Amino acid sequence: MKIAIGNDHAAVELKNEIKAYLEEKGHEVVNFGTDTHDSCNYAEYGEKVADAVAAHEVDCGVLICGTGVGISLAANKVPGIRAAVCSEPVTAKLVKQHNNANIICFGARIVGGEVAKAIVDAYLETEFEGGRHEQRIAYIHDIEKKHGAH
Ligand code: RB5
């Protein structure tokens, strides 16, 4: 798969660890940064990855900040994005199965490398179930339209 990855200054090491892990598994990883510890705005990197996912330049995205929350909030402002914060693999599996999340997020101050790897594995190895979940997701994107997004 082609996977976009992005992070803020709180998550440079974990990003590098997850990027290497995904590449070892044969995925192509597009790194949107940041790659320094200089304080930055997580929203900028959330937006970059979300734009790539929404434009179908990649199959899905991984976003990491301190908690996973700020960067997910930013990504979810891009129409078509369903970015889900997960701190363990059960949620990661369900956000693909039920919500068809197209970006998975987690926090470098919350999970360690092994849990983060289990999260991305659970997410990537699970298929969207479709069926009754389709109309619920469609409703979410209708909300975007109702509130002025395209
Ligand atoms: C940065 O200090 C921190 O606020 C950020 O990484 C993230 O946790 C925000 O949600």
- Report how far ligand 1's centroid is from the alpha carbon of 71 (Å): 8
- Name which residue sits closest to atom 3 of ligand 1, judged by CA: 66
Query: Measured between alpha carbons, how far is 52 from 45 in angstroms, rounded to an integer?
Result: 11
Q: Is residue 65 annotated as part of the catalytic site, yes or no?
A: yes
Mean pLDDT per 10-residue run, the chain (150 residues)? 98 98 98 98 98 98 98 97 98 98 98 98 98 97 87
How much is the pLDDT for 150?
60
Query: Measured between alpha carbons, how far is 13 from 85 in angstroms, rounded to an integer?
Result: 19
Provide the edge-to-edge strand list for the sheet that holds 83-85: 28-31, 2-7, 60-65, 103-107, 83-85
Atom of ligand 1 nearest to the CA of 67: 8
* Domain boundaries, given as residue ranges, for the chain: 2-146
Longest dimension (CA), the chain: 45
State pTM to two decimals: 0.97
How much is the pLDDT for 116?
98
How much is the pLDDT for 148?
84
Q: Is residue 98 annotated as part of the catalytic site, yes or no?
A: yes
Q: Residue 72 has which token pair? A: 């997910």
Q: What is the CATH number of domain 2-146?
A: 3.40.1400.10
